């Protein structure tokens, strides 16, 4: 139910709407909850709304954490 | 897909599994509750349970909004569609939830009721705009992830002057439910459900932030690690919980830093607070009445409140006698301990709500785990 996917913003349509690309699928969504978003950003999309933004540096840091081995 | 595939890497999963096995204390047991259905689904689908040591058990929590929706709420929607002639719009997950008299929304649709499955509340708004002569009701369910879109839809309906649009608001709140579980006699007094910590919500936390969990982590001395919904996220969170337990810590930690901050999405919180307010009490399937655990539409937007517009009253209805959804949602029983599991109750013919959504504990175990219980024998 809380299913949401990271998608890349490819076009800003107006104040409240953007087109995102999700693995090749393009969709018009509402960005009313993340008005600061810019083209190229990744947003988390849920029921047609971007509910938050994805921090690329933090994603990188988390992937590095997975690769660490317990001593 | 970027930011999805990397978080499902099998080799890394085994490495995290090895780390967990190295760090657990073999002289004790660990049990952690994953609150969210999204985590339950990931654990079952990706075989996470197989990568965990035998003394570490995951307990499925009640964080599947479809599963905790009581029969009485679905009945309200059914009556609107069947008796009042409204066009009822809702999310696909809700369509097959069993209600009174052997009905569900999808069966009511087969009987001729005008019930539409929508992806977004925006679709319900569009239907209202295209059908000015019809009453269009959006049956809104979900946790804090799904709530801001409902609030925005109501604001937009007001702006666009859509007088034929209203919302049957059944949104519920995560922190209230976790607190309720910690206060339940099984956990608090009898310790029949031992919980050493929680894998905290992913997308709910994008909206509300990690701060709301800090209170009960401290009060109940239970560690919480917020985790993303991909399998590596869940495994790393389990490792972080093991470390907290070993160190005797009970803190809120965040594994899902790529999307969750301490304060969450302030704009989404403000929109929600503008349109919705906390209900005094709300019935959850499995948990019963939980105080201050759900939202309703504020008086200022009463024109869009289907409960007021159609003068609906909530009537509690008991679940199927042999259905164990209640005990499963509280972590007291496992799906296989229910008599109905896998024979009369399957995802095609669900008797209880945990078999409906793919995130429900029963549906997840039926789809991905039921053959794990059968030992492999050479032919």
Domains and CATH numbers, chain B: 5-62+175-254 (3.40.50.11750), 67-173+265-309 (3.40.50.11740)
Q: What is the pLDDT of residue B190?
A: 67
Please report how the helices A56-67 and B231-247 are oriented relative to each other, as an axis angle in degrees rounded to 10.
70
Which tens digits make up the pLDDT trace of B317-347? 988 889 998 888 888 899 999 999 999 999 9
Per-residue pLDDT of chain B (379 residues; tens, 9 = 90+): 899 999 999 999 999 999 999 999 999 999 999 999 999 999 999 999 999 999 999 998 888 888 889 999 999 999 999 999 999 999 998 998 989 998 999 999 999 999 999 999 999 999 999 999 999 999 999 999 999 999 999 999 999 999 999 999 999 999 998 888 888 887 777 667 889 999 999 999 999 999 999 998 999 999 999 999 999 999 999 999 999 999 999 999 999 999 999 999 999 999 999 999 999 999 998 888 999 999 999 999 999 999 999 999 999 998 888 999 888 888 889 999 999 999 999 998 888 888 988 889 999 999 998 877 777 787 7
CA-to-CA dists, residue B61 to B123, B177, B230, B359, angstroms: 31, 10, 17, 11
Measured distance CA(B80)–CA(B87) in Å, rounded: 9
Please report how the helices B147-160 and B121-130 are oriented relative to each other, as an axis angle in degrees rounded to 10.
20
Check A1 against B143: CB less than 8 A apart: yes
Question: Which chain A residues are closer than 8 Å to B142 by Cβ?
Answer: 1-2
Q: Please check whether residue A22 is in contact with residue A7, taking contact to mean a CB–CB distance below 8 angstroms.
A: yes
Secondary element (H or E) of residue B216: helix B214-219
Q: What is the pLDDT of residue B187?
A: 77
Check A55 against B268: CB less than 8 A apart: no
Please enumerate residues of A whose Cβ is less than 8 A from a Cβ of B: 1-6, 8, 22-23, 30, 32-35, 42, 44, 46-49, 51-56, 58-59, 61-63, 65-70
Secondary element (H or E) of residue B218: helix B214-219
Q: What is the pLDDT of residue B136?
A: 98
Q: What is the pLDDT of residue B293?
A: 96
Instruction: Name the domain count of chain A.
Output: 1
Which tens digits make up the pLDDT trace of A21-67? 998 999 999 999 999 999 999 999 999 999 999 999 999 999 999 99
Q: What is the pLDDT of residue A44?
A: 97
Check B203 against A4: CB less than 8 A apart: yes
Tell me which DSSP letter residue B281 carries: E
Measured distance CA(B347)–CA(B331) in Å, rounded: 20
Q: Residue A27 is part of which domain span?
A: 5-67
Sign of the alpha-carbon dihedral angle for B334, B339, B343, B345: negative
Q: What is the pLDDT of residue B379?
A: 74
Check A33 against B121: CB less than 8 A apart: no
Residue of B nearest to A56 (CA): B258
Q: What's the CATH code of the domain at A12? A: 2.30.30.140
Check A1 against B141: CB less than 8 A apart: yes
Question: Which chain A residues are closer than 8 Å to B3 by Cβ?
Answer: 6, 42, 54, 59
Measured distance CA(B225)–CA(B202) in Å, rounded: 10
């Amino acid at each position: 139910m809380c299913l949401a996917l990271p998608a890349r913003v490819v076009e800003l349509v107006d104040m409240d709407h953007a087109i995102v690309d999700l693995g090749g699928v393009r969709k018009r969504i509402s960005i009313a909850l993340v008005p600061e978003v810019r083209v190229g950003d990744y947003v988390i999309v849920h029921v047609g709304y971007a509910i938050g933004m994805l921090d690329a540096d933090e994603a990188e840091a988390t992937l590095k954490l997975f690769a660490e081995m317990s001593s | 897909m970027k930011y999805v595939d990397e978080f499902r890497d099998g080799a890394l999963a085994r490495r995290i599994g090895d780390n967990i096995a190295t760090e657990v204390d073999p002289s004790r047991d660990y049990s952690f509750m994953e609150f969210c259905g999204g985590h339950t689904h990931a654990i079952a689908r990706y075989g996470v349970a197989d990568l965990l040591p035998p003394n570490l058990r995951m307990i499925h929590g009640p964080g599947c909004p479809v599963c905790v929706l009581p029969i009485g709420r679905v009945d309200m929607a059914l009556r609107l569609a069947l008796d009042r002639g409204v066009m009822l719009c809702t999310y696909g997950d809700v369509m097959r939830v069993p209600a009174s008299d052997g009905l569900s929304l999808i069966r009511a649709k087969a009987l001729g009721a005008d019930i539409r499955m929508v992806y977004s509340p925006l679709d319900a708004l569009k239907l209202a705009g295209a059908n000015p002569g019809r009453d269009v009701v959006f049956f809104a369910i979900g946790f804090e992830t799904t709530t801001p879109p409902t609030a925005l839809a109501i604001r937009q309906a007001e702006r666009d002057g859509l007088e034929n649009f209203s919302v049957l608001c059944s949104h519920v709140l995560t922190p209230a439910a976790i607190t309720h579980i910690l206060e339940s006699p099984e956990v608090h007094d009898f310790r029949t459900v031992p919980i050493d910590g929680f894998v905290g919500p992913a997308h709910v936390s994008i909206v509300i932030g990690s701060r709301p969990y800090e209170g009960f982590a401290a009060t109940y001395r239970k560690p919480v690690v917020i985790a993303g919904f991909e399998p590596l996220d869940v495994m790393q969170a389990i490792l972080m919980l093991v470390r907290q337990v070993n160190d005797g810590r009970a803190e809120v930690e965040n594994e899902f830093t790529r999307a969750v901050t301490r304060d969450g999405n302030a704009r989404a919180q403000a929109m929600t607070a503008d349109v919705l307010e906390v209900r005094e009490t709300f019935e959850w399937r499995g948990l019963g009445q939980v105080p201050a655990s759900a939202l309703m539409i504020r008086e200022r937007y009463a024109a869009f409140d289907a409960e007021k517009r159609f003068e609906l009253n909530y009537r509690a209805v008991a679940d199927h006698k042999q259905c164990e959804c209640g005990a499963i949602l509280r972590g007291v029983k496992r799906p296989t301990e229910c008599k109905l599991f896998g024979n009369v109750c399957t995802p095609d013919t669900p008797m209880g709500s945990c078999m409906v959504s793919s995130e429900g504990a029963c549906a997840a175990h039926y789809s991905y785990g039921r053959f794990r219980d059968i030992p492999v024998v050479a032919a």
